[in-house]
Structure 1
Amino acid sequence: MSTSQKFWNFSNRVYQNDDVQKACLALQDKYGLDVNLILFCCWSGALHGEFTEELFEQSLREASDWRQNVVEPLRNVRSWLKQEIHNRRFSANSSVMDFRAVVKATELESERLQQMDLERLIDHSSGSEFEPLNSSAKNLRRYCDRCGVDLTNDVKLLLALILDACLPDEGPDKALRALS
């Protein structure tokens, strides 16, 4: 397996869980967090430890640029088409529905490319010891802090659900405690 696909494969495995999907979308829609960065915090923490300052800053910069210029415009087009189809403006137009499917697939591909870019930032040679759950939780807390998202009980519960899916051997209670 190529290195550039490990984060993507991890994300797909975790995101198959319906509760994780709901938690990620709630964190995105209510709090403005980037789902790819949430998953990157978990994946990187679990496999490589806590973010270095350089990795954290670079991942935020690159993810922000890509999200603003590629992912969000595609998401906006897809959402607008969905709403218009729902409002029956295009309900009988299968070409518009087909086009929306193409936009959705393109949006998904843009997220895969973003994840490949984030994974490329990781220094795979790090040999230091770390605790996967605590490292992932520290990465998530740091990301939330940078985004101005308070770790309220609601936010912690959503993040703990995601952490538990990423590191299922740890258990949900331990995931929640790690975020405190």
Structure 2
Amino acid sequence: MENNASLWRFALRLWRDKRIEKLCLRLQDEYGVPVAVLLVALWLAEARRRPDAALGRRLVARAEQFEETYLRPLRVVRRRAADEGGGMMELKRQIQEAELEGERLLLARLGELAQTQPGDDSVSALGWLLVVVPEVAQCQGLQTLLEELAALSESRAATG
């Protein structure tokens, strides 16, 4: 499987698609799904790694703990600085940089968990997303967003 630097490049490439960014942020803000988990799931799907519920639970648990400890507090302060405006914009930018570095570290940790996952030719992006977000059966809106994210990711992969 690709190394963590490849995971980071994959995540940045996906994030440049504003539609994917918007869907990931909606899933984070409306449903509490860590963006890093979504990106790792899409990476695993593109790498043709077989979906695994136990791995999905480990990915989510590690991401939620990291988010709670590091990223959510940064996000709160960044948003507060943005709301104040004025001289706080430089502080907002610096916090954004720290938040981005935190996301990179989290992706590296999640990538390490996923390194040994075996391959499978019948893998789909939606298959992995359903593994890491099992609550989908309880919410039609969540399922719709995940289906849209999977379709966008797979169409990007097909076009290079």
Note if 1:138 corresponds to 2:124. no
Query: How far, CA to CA, are the matches of 2:136 and 2:144 in structure 1?
Result: 17
Alignment partner, residue 115 of structure 1? 107
Which of 160, 166, 176 does residue 153 from structure 2 map onto? 166
Any unmatched runs of 5+ in structure 1?
A: 86-90, 172-180
Query: How far, CA to CA, are the matches of 1:130 and 1:48 in structure 2?
Result: 6
Residue 114 of structure 2: SS of its match in structure 1?
coil
Alignment partner, residue 174 of structure 1? none
Query: How far, CA to CA, are the matches of 1:143 and 1:125 in structure 2?
Result: 14
Contact kept in structure 2, 1:43 and 1:166, CA below 8 Å? no
Kindly report which structure 2 residues correspond to 1:1-180, keeping only aligned pairs within 5 A, or say none.
3-85=3-85, 91=86, 93=87, 96-124=88-116, 126=118, 128-133=119-124, 136-145=125-134, 147=135, 150-152=138-140, 154-168=141-155
Residue deviations 1:93-141 (CA, integer Å, cap 9, x gap): 2xx3212111001001100110011111123473x433232xx312212
Contact kept in structure 2, 1:19 and 1:161, CA below 8 Å? no
Contact kept in structure 1, 2:66 and 2:106, CA below 8 Å? yes
Residue 131 of structure 1: SS of its match in structure 2?
coil
Query: How far, CA to CA, are the matches of 1:7 and 1:138 in structure 2?
Result: 19
Amino acid at match of 1:138: G
TM-score normalised by L of structure 1: 0.76
Contact kept in structure 1, 2:20 and 2:149, CA below 8 Å? yes
Query: How far, CA to CA, are the matches of 1:124 and 1:143 in structure 2?
Result: 17
Contact kept in structure 2, 1:164 and 1:170, CA below 8 Å? no
Hey, which bits of structure 1, 4+ residues long, moved more than 4 A? Answer: none
Please state how far the C-alpha of 1:78 moved relative to its aligned partner: 0.3
Q: CA RMSD in A?
A: 2.3
Amino acid at match of 2:155: P
Query: How far, CA to CA, are the matches of 2:54 and 2:156 in structure 1?
Result: 30
What fraction of aligned residue pairs are identical, expressed as a percent?
22
Query: How far, CA to CA, are the matches of 1:162 and 1:14 in structure 2?
Result: 10
Residue 155 of structure 2: SS of its match in structure 1?
coil
Contact kept in structure 2, 1:36 and 1:111, CA below 8 Å? yes
Q: Report which of the two structures shows the higher radius of gyration computed on alpha carbons.
A: 1
The structure in which a higher percent of residues are helix is 2
What is the number of equivalent residue pairs in this alignment? Answer: 157
Contact kept in structure 2, 1:81 and 1:100, CA below 8 Å? yes
